[in-house]
């Protein structure tokens, strides 16, 4: 039972010009087979032009409980959004 | 339904006032339609119920390959064979999406496999019936996948993110399955009288087991009430069964086939079909392991697991060796 294949996270680039997007995970003994399996499991209908696989244990994730301290500082800086500033119509498109 | 009779805590639904603050916050998020993600706090009962349901669903996809696999080498044309292969491959894929969704809840793949092989975890009763003729492949796609879609569409809105996302992927692919089944049925009913008879015979055998897929009436079930409060389940079993009958009867009429239910009758008041009582005795017997193919299905899964052990271990040993060599070279 200790021989369970490790878990890999799968990322697919849907079309040229788009970023890779996480689609799910799978088990495989090594990276090469993880890529082969990812093709069969996640791109049976032409869903992608490129695949990434990353060992799940190599991903560091933020903790759900840290949501406030992590994102609150950016929430407070509304002036980072262009809509914060009123520009008179006469100025035209900006 | 691919997950029948999933038990939850059995304790009945708590009101918001009865909950501790953490649980209350959790329930309020569900009520507000906010998805729950794997690493967030959740009640143990929610976690356990989901593991039971998702793994049962995954096992059903995997065992569900067996009745259809039976016909891959016997498909009537090369095209049908290729289509059936693609369909069975999809079922394997669906099983894998679902196992991964369950694993995010802290259960390992091997644990789930063990539970299936030991008989502790269930899979849908429908896959314990034999596929005797090619028409059964048509009937399975049309009826069994049709019933599965009926059940899976609302599950796309499930409160647990990974399950919901797996269901969205699955639903996208599932409609091919139902259409290929109906296409087989259409071809058969337009064929020779013997071929049409074959289609009728398949409908006769698959109709009732398909209605059983939705599980027994759960109007009064505490498990169902809890699953609904947690946003795991959206509709009652009877609701979905009724929808399935209403959708399927006109499709059978189009084929010129008779639904094998003497009590089936359009009810103009309800704008729905009335239909006969399912033989729940049969359902419970199949669930207990006494269906026509239970032993065969389990034997096939155990054999696949045992025969594949050397392969799984060999690939793992090879991967470790490669890793060690790479480290040594660096």
Tell me whether residues B39 and A63 touch, CB distance under 8 A. Answer: yes
A54 occurs within a structural domain? yes
Ranges of beta strands (E only) in chain B are 265-267, 272-274
The total number of residues shown for chain A amounts to: 94
From first to last of its 330 residues, chain B has per-residue pLDDT tens of 477 767 777 777 888 989 999 999 999 999 999 999 998 999 999 999 999 999 999 999 999 999 999 999 999 999 999 999 999 999 999 999 999 999 999 999 999 999 999 999 999 999 999 999 999 999 999 999 999 999 999 999 999 999 999 999 999 999 899 999 999 999 999 999 999 999 999 999 999 999 999 999 988 787 888 999 999 999 999 999 999 999 999 999 999 999 999 999 999 999 999 999 999 999 999 999 999 999 999 999 999 999 999 999 999 999 999 999 999 998
Number of domains in chain A: 1
A94 occurs within a structural domain? no
- Give the A:B interface size as CB pairs under 8 Å: 50
Tell me whether residues A24 and B110 touch, CB distance under 8 A. Answer: no
Tell me the residue range of the domain where A79 lies: 7-89
Q: Which chain B residues have a beta carbon less than 8 Å from that of A64? A: 37, 39-41
pTM above 0.95, yes or no: no
A45 occurs within a structural domain? yes
A15 occurs within a structural domain? yes
A41 occurs within a structural domain? yes
What whole-number distance in Å separates Cα of residue B139 and Cα of residue B47?
Answer: 35
What whole-number distance in Å separates Cα of residue B112 and Cα of residue B120?
Answer: 10
Q: How far is B105 from chain A (nearest CA, A)?
A: 14
Cβ of B325 under 8 Å from any chain A Cβ? no
Q: Which chain B residues have a beta carbon less than 8 Å from that of A63? A: 39
A2 occurs within a structural domain? no
Cβ of A90 under 8 Å from any chain B Cβ? no
What whole-number distance in Å separates Cα of residue A34 and Cα of residue A28?
Answer: 5
* CATH code assigned at A25: 3.10.20.520
Q: How many CA atoms lie within 13 A of A89 on its CB side?
A: 0
CA-derived radius of gyration, chain A: 21
Q: In angstroms, what CA-CA distances link A19 with A10, A14, A41, B79, B322?
A: 13, 8, 20, 36, 31
Tell me whether residues A41 and B96 touch, CB distance under 8 A. Answer: yes
- ipTM of this model? 0.86
A1 occurs within a structural domain? no
What whole-number distance in Å separates Cα of residue B284 and Cα of residue B212?
Answer: 10
DSSP-derived 3-state class of residue A20: strand
A32 occurs within a structural domain? yes
Cβ of B86 under 8 Å from any chain A Cβ? yes
Please, what sign has the CA dihedral across residues A55, B36, B60, B226?
Answer: positive
DSSP 8-state secondary structure symbol assigned to residue B15: P
């Amino acid at each position: 039972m200790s021989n369970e294949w490790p878990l890999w996270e799968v990322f697919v680039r849907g079309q040229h010009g788009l970023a890779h997007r996480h689609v799910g995970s799978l088990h495989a003994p090594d990276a090469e087979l993880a890529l082969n399996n990812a093709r069969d499991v996640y791109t049976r209908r032409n869903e992608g032009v490129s695949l990434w696989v990353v060992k799940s244990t190599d991903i560091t994730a933020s903790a759900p409980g840290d949501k406030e301290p992590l994102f609150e500082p950016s929430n407070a800086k509304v002036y980072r959004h262009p809509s914060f500033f009123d520009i008179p119509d006469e100025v035209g498109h900006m | 339904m691919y997950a029948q009779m999933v038990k939850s805590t059995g304790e009945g639904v708590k009101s918001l006032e009865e909950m501790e603050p953490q649980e209350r916050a959790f329930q309020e998020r569900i009520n507000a339609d906010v998805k729950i993600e794997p690493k967030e706090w959740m009640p143990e009962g929610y976690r356990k119920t989901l593991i039971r349901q998702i793994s049962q669903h995954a096992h059903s996809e995997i065992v569900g390959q067996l009745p259809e696999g039976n016909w891959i080498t016997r498909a009537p044309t090369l095209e049908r064979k290729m289509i059936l292969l693609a369909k069975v491959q999809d079922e394997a894929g669906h099983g894998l999406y679902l196992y991964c969704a369950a694993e995010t809840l802290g259960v390992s793949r091997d644990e789930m496999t063990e539970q299936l092989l030991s008989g502790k975890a269930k899979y849908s009763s429908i896959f314990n019936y034999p596929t005797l003729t090619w028409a059964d492949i048509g009937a399975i796609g049309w009826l069994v996948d049709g019933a599965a879609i009926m059940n899976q569409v609302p599950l796309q809105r499930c409160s647990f993110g990974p399950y919901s996302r797996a269901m969205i992927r699955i639903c996208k692919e599932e409609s091919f399955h139902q259409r290929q089944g109906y296409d087989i049925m259409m071809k058969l009913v337009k064929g020779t009288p013997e071929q049409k008879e074959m289609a009728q015979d398949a409908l006769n055998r698959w109709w009732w087991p398909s209605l059983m897929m939705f599980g027994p009436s759960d109007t009064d079930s505490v498990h169902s009430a809890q699953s609904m409060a947690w946003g795991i389940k959206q509709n009652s079993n009877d609701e979905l069964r009724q929808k399935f009958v209403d959708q399927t009867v006109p499709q059978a009429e189009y084929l010129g086939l008779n639904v094998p239910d003497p009590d089936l009758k359009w009810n103009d008041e309800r704008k729905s079909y009335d239909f006969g009582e399912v033989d729940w005795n049969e359902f419970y017997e199949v669930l207990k392991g006494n269906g026509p193919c239970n032993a065969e299905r389990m034997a096939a899964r155990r054999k696949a697991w045992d025969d594949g052990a050397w392969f799984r271990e060999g690939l793992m040993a090879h991967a470790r060796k490669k890793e060690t060599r790479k480290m040594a070279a660096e």
